[in-house]
Amino acid sequence: MTGPLVGVKIIDLTSMISGPMGAMILADQGAEVIKVEPLGGEQLRHMAAPYNGVNAPFYSCNRGKRSLAIDLKSSEGKEVLIKLIKESDVFMQNFRPGTTDRMGFGYDELKKINPNLIYLSISGFGDKGPYAHSRVYDPVIQALSGATDIQADRNSGEPKMFRIVIADKVTSLSAAQAVSSALYAKEKNSGGQHIKLSMLDSVVAFFWPEGMTGLVFKDNEFDVRKLQGSQDLIYKAKDRYITAGAVSDAEWKGMCNALNMEDLIDDDRFNTSAARVINSEERKKITADEIKKWDSEEILDRFQTEGVPSAPLLDRMELMDHEQIIANQTILREKYDGFGEIRQARPAALFEGTPSKIKRPAPKLGEHTREILLSLNYELEEIEKLIEANILFDG
């Protein structure tokens, strides 16, 4: 076992992506994560066709965990979970506000049996306000957070959504960071605590530094939508799309040199960072007209020589073969019985002294039920009776 969180035990009652991915990050960093699911499995297990009993989205959010499938409506099932909570460090849940209280697993109840427990509640909107008890999925958060405005079509202004579940994943990153900080605070003798985290708050905070610049200074407020798209984004070379950007004066000079348009280096429209933002549409049109004259490999080589941030636009099927991805060992390839070769993005943070590691594949439903109950000192006969009574499911 390796990782900075070795010795930490986490109970993961979350489903879909906003919690499971956060718990998976903590598992990669060494924590023991027990995924507690209903007898039919959590919703993400049913969102795509399975391969060897596990679908790809579920796998990528739940690797490294053990699965306990249990009926938490039964008194026997509740007793199992209580025993786990007594010896755990972290409890994670993403039910709608009030649900775990009705189940008997709210924070006020659990801190009585484990005062040092870190209890993370993930919700869509928080526990107050008109949306607090509404159902939520990623597109709803994108709608309320301004994401669809950020992604709006540059010409028509038509709102667009990110084509990934960005709200869930940003929330998962926030969840993992918050739990790590609470664990550190506990080590400094602060004890357990309740962490409340909403998807809406997570995404607004994520977008704020660059996406909401016009709202920062009240006395200098401006409509940030008018500057939307000032970044250099996508250009078409002769053979493929590329990206290239010039933010600093040195980068602008390099771009001009690479494109043989040295006369624009000191042009008043573009000779400062502010001027390049103000005149961004004109600058991008000029740049695009020049880039389309070049083969991508040649112009990207010239940009790199001149110190201009640039790259080809890779499609997802090209990703694993790109030399930078290979050099970074970004994609791990491991073989597991029943699955063959599994490809996963490696844990992003590289710890020198306590390296992260993917400990095991994502679990099949209830795969570790017997193993977990044996660790709680249940007798085999008791376990079999609970399985026969549909209190537990053994994968």
pLDDT tens digits for range 169-186: 999 999 999 999 999 999
Token duo for residue 15: 């489903």
- pLDDT bucket at 323, cuts 50 / 70 / 90: very high
Helix (H, G, I), strand (E, B) or coil at 238: coil
pLDDT value of residue 256 = 98
pLDDT value of residue 359 = 94
Residue 143's CB is within 10 A of a number of other CB atoms, namely 14
Does position 231 have pLDDT exceeding 90, yes or no? no
The reply to whether 9-207+328-393 and 235-312 are identical in fold is no
Which residue ranges make up each domain of the chain?
9-207+328-393, 235-312
Q: Which CATH class is domain 235-312?
A: alpha beta
Which residue reads 């609970």 in tokens? 386
| CATH fold of 9-207+328-393 | Rossmann fold (3.40.50)
Residue 348's identity, in one-letter code, is: A
Token duo for residue 344: 């996963």
The average pLDDT across 307-325 equals: 96
The average pLDDT across 291-311 equals: 98
pLDDT value of residue 233 = 83
Average pLDDT, the chain: 95
Find the range with the poorest average confidence among 1-5, 13-17, 333-337. 1-5
Does position 230 have pLDDT exceeding 60, yes or no? no
pLDDT value of residue 2 = 87
Q: Where are the beta strands (DSSP E) in the chain?
A: 9-12, 32-37, 66-70, 90-93, 118-123, 193-198, 235-236, 241-244, 310-312, 331-336, 340-345, 392-393
Comparing C-alpha atoms, which of 37, 104, 61, 100 is closest to residue 369?
Answer: 37
- pLDDT bucket at 229, cuts 50 / 70 / 90: low
pLDDT value of residue 290 = 97
The average pLDDT across 200-220 equals: 94
- Residues above pLDDT 90, as percent of the chain: 92
pLDDT value of residue 350 = 96
CA distances to 131, 135, 290 from 161, in Å: 20, 19, 31
Residue 359's identity, in one-letter code, is: K
The average pLDDT across 138-163 equals: 93
The average pLDDT across 106-122 equals: 98
The average pLDDT across 230-248 equals: 89
pLDDT value of residue 284 = 92
pLDDT value of residue 227 = 66
Burial 181-218 (b: 16+ CB within 10 A, else e): ebbeebeeeeebebbebbbbbbbbebbeeebeeeeeee
- pLDDT bucket at 153, cuts 50 / 70 / 90: confident
pLDDT value of residue 95 = 96
The average pLDDT across 229-248 equals: 87
Task: Confirm if 6 and 158 have CB atoms less than 8 A apart.
Answer: no
